[in-house]
Chain A
């Protein structure tokens, strides 16, 4: 958690290997990822990290189902992907919109598709950057519930960036950032 400009998204990007640290190191599953090449890092992300963005970031030229399938294909999976994608779409409540393109979906629906996409390869880590930031309260609440429910079901480590205190209340551990520094690190009992 932290105010705008405190470094939340930068930290999340570094954890995902989307950027390289100017100093220090990032260790994921015992592997130093700071020095990996771009393509090797992409491979690591494909296998181990799922993403949920504030602005959904669906590929506009792919249908909802195809968007969900994308990480599965990128990680080299074959067979059973389509069934899993449809199962996830059913879980997030947009199976009836599986053949729709992002432009044909509302914001809430797009974020549900993004959630399904994040879980398709059952990543051990899920990074979520203000996932309810672009949604109204009702839709935001529903997405949050889905996120937590799926996180529990899939046994995923969820790293959530937010400045919403209510949202943070669901976390086991809360790290507060300010001006690029950690100012507190609370663990729930």
Chain B
């Protein structure tokens, strides 16, 4: 073979070699398909969801344009809406708030209340009730509709009477479909639909009450939407505006972040799949050393021989990626049911060429990148190998090995850069941000793989050493362990591949448990467990008296008064919308500030001095606000409160114990400055858990408009949300485990002939099937268990870092979780191992021995 090895010949050799390794390569294809499937599934669903957001944009906001704000429209804003109405731009007003709903003899329940005008709402889409009836005819000032969970909790049925704000309402049925459910606010607890007149009658709304206001607009086709939007943006500068020409900004932003995160999780599965391709190609090359040496003897150059294996990799990756698109469609089909509780959407499954092409491209590129290092090994195969196969080659020196490994190192660096670019491209962020995320991703992958490889190396070495001292142990255990070191087994690669999936899935679970555990633990004895919202100025003392008369009060009550105020200028400078980033953006909007008569006992002055009567109009600020806004005592801060300007001077910086309600507020005003403005009070109290329901009932009977929030209920809701998010992430990260398991199966299939030979030798020497099955089972179980241990160790370590650094909490060790993971991985590995060893035990010895 002199001259060039033609592509045609290369393809022919590649095809024939692949045909001889069908089973092994079938698993490789599956591993790539799983990774690509997760990626295309996530991105396909995201695009379908996005298309649906645009297609159904009018339905999702129940209008052509919606304005959401947290304050009732001022007369000026009303005037703007009325001017638009005179041009045919109709509007309707929706209020969403939380309150207590009750029935006779049961403790009240926290509900999300949505007040609408049934004559106009919804402009688009339909609100369906069960029993079915037109909203206009059944929803009146005396009736309500509720979500089915409220009916269950309070034992209601259509026709029952329910009390809201102390007023009776007749239940007309359950809400089956609410078009703008996703764009709503304050979704806490069961939902209650009421008319605006009904809301008025219930008396829930006070100036300063916590509520979201939405103004929905129907714009005639002849009117310029942008013009309407601009005039509303000018009138409502603090609002979030959505119109039918775009996907809903809040949902869109959440979707983008979720897509980025889940795409990166999918990329991990794909990396595991690519590791599988690389391992299989390496094993394949090991078995083809003779053929490679012969080709070199006949004059073929390394680059020409590499061509054969590049063709094989490309074909495997292409088939795997194409199959991955089908897997992706399955993922798309499953995804809606995972998020059904919060987003009842069925965007429909259809083959979308953009994510499909992206999946094929990334699948192909990743597989090729990971295969480069083993392919470079072809350069080191010496033609003389065929003449002196029996002789072990002298081990090169370290210097020699580093020199030999240089191309692999360069290709490794290129691989990492390419991986970073791929990860960055999946983020749909601006280039600088994409680079940053890509960089972090690569660092995380490298650290994880390096840590897993190190742990795999140590565990395998320890096991081997240990196996020499297991003379008294059953033969199956000793031989099972010995099998881990079978030539071509690539136990370390399998462990790393399987360990990545276990580690990641477990890490998500550990962090989820950490978040929930932290929530539970941060409610220690002494921390308030009941909050009272929207207490009117006049009710302050009676509410305190009622609480004092209740049984089971352990601590409190702590009551604070707030007024809504907007920070206008600091030392004459307005806050810039463009320059204010991150958490500081909250200061751009109207927020609650505390009105206090003097220094609260739990507030420590860190800098400056508490104001005095002679010190002029003063405020004190929290440490966080001072740091974020770069303030110092003496700074001049001007405020807008209820349309009036109030100048103040920053008197001091305070630190407030975060368990107090005041800890949530950034500015403490001298209450004399805020006299005449609507004041809303909040209270917190620590109550024995069994006394919470009687307190809620007593409070509801006397002050039906006061919302009594039980922290336990809120924690349960948060836990449900955290659980839900965790399930979705684990669903995608489980693909990495699947890919790892497939790689294990691929490796087992790759050593099939060696295993068959062992089976027949053992049979010839007198071993029964059960005994051989025991040896192989021990091998698979150990592989799985070691991968499980590795994944658990690293999930524990990384989980502790995440919980400690990000959640600022102490990690808790839960042995049962890790034990379950280890056992489950071992069993999974055993199943996969035996699936790949199909019919191996039934081999007739003579047949195999004669074929040698």
Contacts and interface: CB of A to CB of B under 8 A. Distances in A.
Contacts of B765: 45-46, 51, 70-71, 74, 117
A170 B475 CA distance: 38
Interface string A51-68: 101110101111000100
Given A18-B846, A57-B757, A106-B390, A42 B482 contact: no
A42 B761 contact: no
B82 interface: no
Nearest to B842: A38
B608 interface: no
Given A19-B844, A104-B392, A42 B767 contact: yes
Contacts of B475: 73-74
Residue from B482, B765, B770, B771 whose CB has the most chain A CB atoms within 10 Å: B765
A93 B693 CA distance: 88
A42 B768 contact: yes
B763 interface: yes
Contacts of B766: 42-43, 45-47, 71, 74-75
Given A42-B766, A60-B754, A71-B765, A13 B771 contact: no
Contacts of B845: 13, 18-19
B783 to A, nearest CB: 14
A39 interface: yes
Contacts of A38: 763, 769
B200 interface: no
A19 B769 contact: no
Interface in A92-112: 103-104, 106-107
Given A60-B486, A103-B487, A13 B767 contact: no
Interface residues of A, number: 35
Contacts of B763: 18, 38, 42
Given A66-B482, A74-B762, A103-B487, A53 B771 contact: no
Interface string B471-507: 1000100010011011100000000000000000000
Contacts of A74: 475, 762, 765-767, 771
Contacts of A70: 762, 765
A134 B582 CA distance: 76
B852 interface: yes
A158 interface: no
A9 interface: yes
A74 B770 CA distance: 12
B433 interface: no
Contacts of A43: 766, 768
Contact of A59 (B758, B768, B846): B758
Interface string B819-852: 0000000000000000000000000111101101
A44 to B, nearest CB: 8
A155 interface: no
A107 B390 contact: yes
A52 B771 CA distance: 22
B294 to A, nearest CB: 20
A141 interface: no
Highest count of chain B CB atoms <10 Å: which of A18, A54, A71, A117: A18
B607 interface: no
A16 B766 CA distance: 11
A10 interface: yes
A20 to B, nearest CB: 9
Interface string B608-619: 000000000000
Interface string B728-771: 00000000000000000000000000100110011111111111
Contacts of B767: 42, 46, 74
Given A59-B758, A104-B392, A107-B390, A16 B764 contact: yes
A71 B767 CA distance: 8
A77 to B, nearest CB: 11
A71 B771 CA distance: 13
Contacts of A59: 758, 761-762
A60 B754 CA distance: 9
Contact of A53 (B486, B754, B758, B849): B849
Given A18-B844, A61-B486, A13 B769 contact: no
A13 B846 contact: yes
A31 to B, nearest CB: 16
A71 B479 CA distance: 13
A47 B487 CA distance: 30
Residue in A10, A46, A106 with the greatest tally of chain B CB atoms within 10 Å: A46
A34 to B, nearest CB: 14
A71 B754 CA distance: 19
Could you say which of A47, A61, A73, A75 has the most chain B C-beta atoms within 10 Å of its C-beta? A61
A70 B769 CA distance: 15
A13 B844 CA distance: 11
A43 B766 CA distance: 5
Nearest to A46: B766
A71 B475 CA distance: 11
A9 B487 contact: no
Given A57-B761, A73-B475, A39 B769 contact: yes
Nearest to B482: A61
A73 B771 CA distance: 11
A113 B268 CA distance: 47
B482 A18 contact: no
A39 B754 contact: no
A129 B845 CA distance: 14
Contacts of B485: 61
A42 B844 CA distance: 12
A13 B485 CA distance: 30
A45 to B, nearest CB: 5
Contacts of B392: 104
A100 to B, nearest CB: 11
A59 B776 CA distance: 14
A55 B852 CA distance: 8
Nearest to B481: A61
Contacts of A51: 764-765
Contacts of A55: 852
B479 A13 contact: no
Nearest to B850: A9
A62 B844 contact: no
Nearest to A120: B765
Contacts of B762: 59, 70, 74
Contacts of B479: 61-62
Interface in B62-79: none
Contacts of A57: 757, 761, 764, 849
A60 B475 CA distance: 16
B166 to A, nearest CB: 80
A45 B764 contact: yes
A104 to B, nearest CB: 7
A174 B494 CA distance: 52
Given A43-B768, A57-B761, A74-B767, A62 B849 contact: no
Interface in A22-55: 38-39, 42-43, 45-47, 51, 53-55
Nearest to B770: A39
Q: Which of B754, B767, B847 has the most CB of A within 10 A?
A: B767
Nearest to B779: A61
Contacts of A117: 765
A66 B475 CA distance: 11
Contacts of B483: 61
A122 B82 CA distance: 108
24 contacts: A10-B850, A38-B763, A39-B770, A42-B763, A42-B768, A43-B766, A45-B765, A51-B764, A57-B757, A57-B761, A57-B849, A61-B758, A62-B479, A66-B482, A70-B765, A71-B766, A74-B765, A74-B766, A74-B771, A75-B766, A82-B471, A106-B390, A107-B390, A129-B849
Nearest 4 A-B pairs (CB), nearest first? A46-B766, A13-B846, A18-B846, A39-B768
Given A19-B845, A46-B767, 20 more contacts: A9-B846, A13-B849, A18-B763, A18-B845, A19-B847, A38-B763, A42-B763, A43-B766, A45-B765, A46-B765, A57-B764, A60-B487, A61-B482, A61-B483, A61-B486, A62-B482, A66-B482, A74-B765, A74-B771, A106-B390
